[in-house]
Each structure stands twice: as structure tokens, then as C-alpha cells.
Amino acid sequence: MIMASNLKKKNISRSFIKWLHLWPGIISALILIFVCITGTIFVYSDEIIDRAAGNARYVKEVLPSRMPAEKLMDILKANYPDRKSPAYMVAYRDPRRSVRFNTYSEEAGLRMVYMNPYTGQILKDDATVYFFYTVAHLHNSLLLGKSGQWIIDIATLIFLIELVTGIYLWWPRRWNKSARKGAFTIKWRAPFKRVNYDFHKVFGVYAFLFILILLVTGLLIAFEPLGNATMRVFGGIDPHRWKSERVFSDEDKANSVFYINDAVYAAFRMYPDKKEAQIATFRLGGPYYNVRVSNRIGLKSAESPKDIFFDRLTGRVATDVPQSVIRGNKVENAIWVLHTGNWMGPIGKLLTFLAGLIGATLPVSGFLIWWNKRRK
């Protein structure tokens, strides 16, 4: 009697998990597919944006000295007075490379402006980034603001439930040779219904870890309190909300002899293995230059970055910036690196791209499994 009761409870539990795996997924299928496709499109955004710049990535002649970055920004503002001040500038160790600024206006949207660092000539005003800006906001909120964000967030939570319950239902009850073969292989010569079933089961397992990473990091990005809590766990704080208590007066600005280019050069000297430098130009009103150096700086993350704060008066590395801010930068970047695939170079990108594609097919193959059983 006890064995029968336990078996009955186990069957009820499994039936509930099957229900949980099926119906929330069917209800949210279209949203899940859309989120996966838009995320997959974004994976190679950095490479496409860089390629779209074409010849503007390089200057025709390398001159003995560069124009001050502050002067470049003045030229930028004079040519595009309707645009907001750029949030960051990216410079390169390679003297042949141009510098780029991100600019934004309500009319033009987000654009990348490439400039000759020696002459101040604008080489290209490129709108390719705006396409990916739109894709990112479709991925994040369906372009519906806060209500759209909640729709995406709920769908992401459902996908996480689908993923966990799917692994539970897939888990073989016996790990013999026949069970292992059925769990990890697809019978390609079988009828379509069986191939579809195997595809859903096997590829879901192969992509499980990568999709799980994408879902968890997506939730950390979407839910700000959750992301901030993660930063605190690692001893960090949200670096965007930190404001130094130190006042940088007009007199300090007048006495400062350390400029943006100086900060970039100093960062490259500190890390001779790094090829790119990004400076936060939205923080120019404060007492520090925030420079990030990396081998690859993308739209939302950087590969193995080093963040340095330079004192604008002394030119030295600032010692009064809290370590929690630097750790917050690291944690935030790590979350975005994992979410966008900007880890392990091309391998990380490819695996993330494939995981996104597989994620988009799982609701489709799952629906077909249910539909075929329903018809039967």
C-alpha cells in the first residue's frame, strides 16, 4: 500500500511538471521565439558595426601629433548641435585607427561618428548602430516601455521554468547504454514526428547551460534590484549611481593640465597588451577620467577589461575611488559579457549565437509535439 501511494504521488508530481512544462510555454511561445531571435541578431552587432564603418576605421596619414580629444568633441558638437554630448569615446593603440564617438538625438537616433584624431575631420556618421539599438529595445521591451519590459521579463521567467522542467522530464530513469543513446542522439531516419521529438529533447539538453546563462543574465539586467544585489554579493555597487563627494571646481578645471588624451596614453602604458581604450565622456564634469582598456570593446561589454580612474588634477591613478565602484564595473561587465557572448572571442560568440537559435526553435518543436499528440 505504501509503495502504491508513493508511486501515485510520484505520478501526480510528474504530471504536474509536464503540465508546467507545456502550457506556460505554449501561451508565451511567440514572445519566447521573438526574444530569442532578436537576441541572436544582436550577438554579432559589434562585428557588423565595425565592418559597416569601412574605410572610416582608418586614417590616410599618421601625423606627428593628435588633436586634443576635447577639441574633437567641440568639432562634433559644432557639426551636430542637435545631438547630446557623447557618452563615450573609443580610441585605439594602432595609430592608423580613427576614434569613434556615440551620439544620440531624437531625430537621428543613436549613431557612431568616426573622426580623424590628427585633423578633426569627420570620416563617417554611421547609422548602423541604430538598427541594433532598436533590436536591443525590441529584445528588452518590445518598444512598449515599462509594460513591454514586464511582458519580456515574465516570458523570460517562463522560459527558465521550461528549461528546468525540461531537464527533469528528459533525465533518464536508468543510465544504461540504450538510455544514454536515446537521451543524446537523434534518429534522423525516423518519421518527422520522432525526429522533431528527438530534436526538441536532445538539442535542448546540449544548449541547456548556454540558454540558462542567457536567461539568468537577462534577468539580472532586467531586474535592477537583482543586478544590484549580485554586485553587492561580490563587494560592488552600481557604478552608474556613484557620485564622488569630492567637488571639482571651475578653479580646479582651470589648473588641470591632464587631459583626455593623456589619460588614454597613460592607460595604454599601464596595460601594454590592450589595444582599445574607452573613456566615459559623460563623466567629464567630475574630478576623474574613467578609462577602460581592453582588446575588444563592444556596445555593451568589453573583453577582459581593466578600469582605471585618473585624477584630473594630478594625472595619477586615483586612490580615493571606492573599490566597490571598480568591482561594480567588473560585475556589470561580466553579466553583459555572458549575455552577449563576448567571452572566449569567436568561440563564445558562436556558442551564444547557436544557443539563441536553438532557444527559438524549442517552442516550435515543443508545440508540434503537443499538436501531434492532441491529434492522435
Q: Residue 368 contacts by C-beta under 8 Å, 6 or more apart in sequence?
A: 193, 196
Q: With respect to residue 96, please indicate whether it lies within any of the assigned structural domains.
A: no
Range of the domain at 37: 23-43+137-222+350-375
DSSP characters over 280-321 = EGGGTTSSEEEEEEESEE-SS-EES-EEEEEETTT-SBPSSS
Q: With respect to residue 48, please indicate whether it lies within any of the assigned structural domains.
A: no
How confident is the model over 289-308, as pLDDT tens digits? 999 999 999 998 998 899 99
- pLDDT greater than 90 at residue 9: no
- pLDDT greater than 90 at residue 272: yes
How confident is the model over 143-165, as pLDDT tens digits? 999 999 999 999 999 999 999 99
pLDDT of residue 167: 94
How confident is the model over 179-238, as pLDDT tens digits? 888 888 999 999 999 999 999 999 999 999 999 999 999 999 999 999 999 999 999 999
Q: With respect to residue 177, please indicate whether it lies within any of the assigned structural domains.
A: yes
Q: Is 89 left (phi over 0), alpha (psi -120 to 50) or beta?
A: beta
The partner residues of 89 in beta bridges, in order of sequence, read 101, 279
Q: With respect to residue 37, please indicate whether it lies within any of the assigned structural domains.
A: yes
Cα angle at 290 between 293 and 87, to 5 degrees?
A: 95
For residue 37, give the C-alpha cell. 531571435
Q: With respect to residue 202, please indicate whether it lies within any of the assigned structural domains.
A: yes
Confidence tier at 55 by pLDDT (50, 70, 90): very high
Q: With respect to residue 204, please indicate whether it lies within any of the assigned structural domains.
A: yes
pLDDT of residue 120: 98
Total domains present in the chain:
1
- pLDDT greater than 90 at residue 335: yes
The Cα–Cα gap between 181 and 208 comes to 18
Q: With respect to residue 3, please indicate whether it lies within any of the assigned structural domains.
A: no
DSSP 83: S
pLDDT of residue 253: 83
pLDDT of residue 245: 86
CA distances from 101 to 44, 107, 113, 187, 289 (A): 20, 17, 5, 52, 16
Q: With respect to residue 217, please indicate whether it lies within any of the assigned structural domains.
A: yes
Nearest to 280 by CA among 296, 295, 299, 260: 260
- pLDDT greater than 80 at residue 375: no
Q: Is 143 left (phi over 0), alpha (psi -120 to 50) or beta?
A: left
For cell 542637435, the residue is: 82
- pLDDT greater than 80 at residue 6: no
5, with CB counted inside 10 A (0-12, 13-18, 19+), is exposed
Residue 54 CB: number of other CB atoms within 10 A? 12
- pLDDT greater than 90 at residue 71: yes
The Cα–Cα gap between 311 and 316 comes to 6
* Segment 74-79 mean pLDDT: 97
Q: Residue 125 contacts by C-beta under 8 Å, 6 or more apart in sequence?
A: 80, 111, 112, 113
CA distances from 315 to 135, 258, 290, 311, 318 (A): 40, 6, 12, 5, 8
